[in-house]
Amino acid sequence: MSEALLVLADGTTFEGEAVGWEPESGVAVGEVVFNTALTGYQEIVTDPSYAGQVITFTYPHVGNYGVNPHDDESRQPACRGVVLRDLARRPSSWRATEDLGGFLRRHRVAGIAGVDTRRLTRHVREVGAMPGAFGAAGEDVLREAAITAPGTEGVDLVASVTTGEPYRVGDPDAPFFVVAYDFGIKATILRHLRAAGCHVEVVPAGTPAADVLAREPDGVFLSNGPGDPAAVAGAAENVRALLGRTPVFGICLGHQILALALGGRTFKLRFGHHGANHPVRRLATGGVEITSQNHNYAVDPDSLGGAVEVTHTNLNDGVCEGIRARDVPAFGVQYHPEAGPGPHDAAYLFGEFTRLMTEPA
């Protein structure tokens, strides 16, 4: 392993060693964020919502139980790289088919280990997520790459991860037929929809609302995905055309796009929510759910009109975590009830979606 550096756009530098895939240029660039989950690194790395970003793992030991094909959330990682404290060289799990280092090399994901991730996390928490560059190139080269790197604001990152063609999953004779917009959909979400009794057709992010309605679905699902919801071309307009015509359920980016379709606004958080341990209050019951989250943008609750109700809030910082339309069958949550990885406190929401599809119009 060769020596490597991580340099943030503000000039802050961290020493480490190159792991995973090493690009010929010696430089990997992306927006640096941190994830606080203790396990689930494979699901995190393969979550398409990390497109354009470099993932810092706050847990010090990563790779302990290896990787296996069943835990992939997508066909290949979309993240720009990973930052680790210690990378396990010899995984220990009967499910493992490969070590994490080999997985990163095979999927051409750059990494840097040996980094003081506690210091890095504290820095990002204080000054906010920002572009960074890392690798074996010189410090001046990395600093220039970080400074000139574009951020995620105003960039349609969904276009880089959505499916090119529609495809179907699940039992064709299932009780419900759902069309799912692929803004970066995770495999675990599709498993939960199938388990809830849905046959799902996944369609590209830019599919017109008229084409979706022509399929005569029982409901429409809006998936998770990366980046700025306001930059996803045509998404809010298509969802707006669906409201009142069919039940709609959105998760993460899908929740944000639903809010835009309902007349709300979104904004970028300082460093986002990334982890499997975020407490959320369900306002209807007062109960607290521990949730899995991965997003850098959020819905501005003050921008929502009287036709929209806030249903969940984050207990760490008060961010809007769920909304429901009062006049049409549509709701969304900012967090990930499918828990890939994470707790299963919010799995009931898939049942809420099927309940909407059984109620009379």
**pLDDT reported for residue 361:** 61
Domains of the chain are 3-148 (3.50.30.20), 157-358 (3.40.50.880)
- Partnered with residue 277 across adjacent β-strands are none
Nearest to 139 by CA among 2, 5, 3, 1: 5
**pLDDT reported for residue 360:** 67
Q: pLDDT (tens digit, 9 = 90+) per residue, 200-256?
A: 999 999 999 999 999 999 999 999 999 999 999 999 999 999 999 999 999 999 999
**pLDDT reported for residue 151:** 82
Q: List, in order, residues 6 or more apart from 163 with CB less than 8 Å away.
A: 182, 202, 203, 204
- Determine if the pTM surpasses 0.75: yes
79 is catalytic: no
Q: Count CA within 13 A, CB hemisphere, residue 114.
A: 15
Does the CA dihedral 242-244-247-251 come out positive or negative? positive
Would you call the peptide bond into 341 cis, given omega within 30 degrees of 0 as the criterion?
A: yes
Mean pLDDT by 10 residues, the chain (361 residues): 93 97 95 97 98 97 97 97 96 96 98 98 97 96 96 92 98 98 98 98 98 98 97 97 98 98 97 96 97 97 96 97 97 96 94 92 61
**pLDDT reported for residue 179:** 98
- Determine which helix (DSSP H) or strand (DSSP E) holds 248, and give its type and residue range: strand 248-251
336 is catalytic: yes
Say which residue the tokens 């419900």 belong to. 176
Dist. CA 103–CA 89, nearest whole Å: 12
What residue type is assigned to position 45 of the chain? Answer: V
Within 10 A of 169 (CB to CB), how many other CB atoms are there? 15
Nearest to 162 by CA among 208, 204, 202, 200: 204
CB 266 within 8 A of CB 323: no
31 is catalytic: no
3-state secondary structure of 125: helix
Does the CA dihedral 163-167-170-175 come out positive or negative? positive
Q: Which among 79, 252, 278, 312 is annotated as catalytic?
A: 252
Q: pLDDT (tens digit, 9 = 90+) per residue, 123-147?
A: 999 999 999 999 999 999 999 999 9
On the 0-12 / 13-18 / 19+ scale of CB atoms within 10 A, 6 is: buried
